[in-house]
């Protein structure tokens, strides 16, 4: 199935008042929320450096035109903005966004992004010896709070075990922030091939009720 063949038609008037029928490119659909909670419905996948939606679709479904299913499974409405950039495109993105600021500071874009602070963070790590679980919470703080927040570790002992609390701080550069934002897009869901046809039929019915 090709994505654009499923889109509904739209009727509009042109500048001369004539009726024009065409594909409604604004039509959108998303997975039913209950389905997204089904663990057997998805594979977990980490997007690699040169991966494109078409490549992944061909790898899993044997059909590059099922790239739309990758977007559908992850509620991606902006393929350009929501897909991780490869190294070359990431550097182009940085240059486009920060070249004027870097020039104003007599620096290269890379040097500017590495040396300029985006924000300050407090990182709280909690380890529960009973469950063996570790949780990490990161919050943004201002510069004054950063300067007055010590790195420290404390342990609380209970009859069932101990909980270790660790507090640390971090200075986040623009480069760190942009890289983390880009990398956060790499882990996606791939619809299990056993359910792909059912999902495809659901998508068609949503687009053409």
The per-residue pLDDT for 23 is: 47
What is the reported pTM? 0.74
Beta strand extents in 70-160 (DSSP E only): 117-128, 133-141, 152-158
d(C-alpha 209, C-alpha 201), whole Å: 12
d(C-alpha 190, C-alpha 151), whole Å: 40
The per-residue pLDDT for 21 is: 52
**Look-up of token digits 């039509």:** 27
**Look-up of token digits 């500071």:** 105
Q: Contact, 155 vs 167, CB < 8 A?
A: no
Q: Contact, 35 vs 41, CB < 8 A?
A: yes
Over range 117-140, report the average pLDDT. 95
d(C-alpha 30, C-alpha 77), whole Å: 9
The per-residue pLDDT for 3 is: 44
Q: Terminus-to-terminus CA distance in the chain, angstroms?
A: 17
Q: Could you tell me which residue, 118 or 9, shows the higher pLDDT?
A: 118
pLDDT confidence bin for 13, thresholds 50/70/90:
low
Residue 12 has pLDDT above 90, yes or no: no
Residue 25 has pLDDT above 50, yes or no: no
Angle between helices 87-104 and 174-183 (to 10 degrees): 160
d(C-alpha 39, C-alpha 43), whole Å: 8
Distances (CA, A) of 81 to 61, 78, 97, 185: 24, 5, 14, 10
Handedness of CA 144, 139, 123, 157 (dihedral sign): positive
For the chain, what is the mean pLDDT?
85
The per-residue pLDDT for 80 is: 87
Q: Give the model confidence (pLDDT) of 64-106 as tens digits.
A: 989 988 998 888 888 889 999 999 999 999 999 999 999 999 9
Over range 25-54, report the average pLDDT. 72
Over range 129-146, report the average pLDDT. 95
How large a percentage of the chain has pLDDT more than 90? 60
Helix (H) or strand (E) holding 146: helix 143-147
Residue 24 has pLDDT above 50, yes or no: no
Helix (H) or strand (E) holding 72: helix 67-73
Q: Contact, 56 vs 197, CB < 8 A?
A: no
């Amino acid at each position: 199935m090709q994505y654009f063949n499923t889109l509904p038609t739209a009727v509009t008037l042109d500048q001369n008042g004539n009726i024009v029928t065409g594909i409604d490119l604004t039509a959108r659909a998303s997975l039913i929320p209950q389905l997204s909670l089904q663990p057997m419905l998805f594979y977990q996948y980490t997007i690699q450096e040169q991966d494109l939606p078409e490549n992944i679709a061909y790898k899993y479904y044997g059909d590059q035109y099922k790239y739309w299913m990758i977007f559908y499974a992850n509620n991606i409405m902006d393929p350009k903005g929501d897909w991780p950039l490869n190294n070359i495109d990431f550097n182009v993105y940085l240059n486009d966004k920060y070249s004027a600021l870097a020039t104003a500071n007599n620096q290269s874009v890379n040097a500017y992004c590495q040396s300029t602070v985006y924000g300050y963070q407090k990182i709280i790590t909690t380890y529960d010896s009973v469950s063996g679980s570790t949780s990490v919470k990161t919050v943004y703080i201002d510069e004054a709070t950063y300067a007055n927040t010590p790195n420290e570790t404390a342990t609380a002992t209970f009859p069932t075990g101990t909980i270790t609390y660790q507090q640390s701080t971090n200075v986040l550069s623009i480069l760190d922030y942009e890289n983390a934002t880009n990398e956060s897009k790499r882990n996606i869901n791939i619809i299990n091939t056993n359910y792909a046809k059912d999902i495809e039929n659901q998508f068609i019915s949503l687009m053409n009720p």
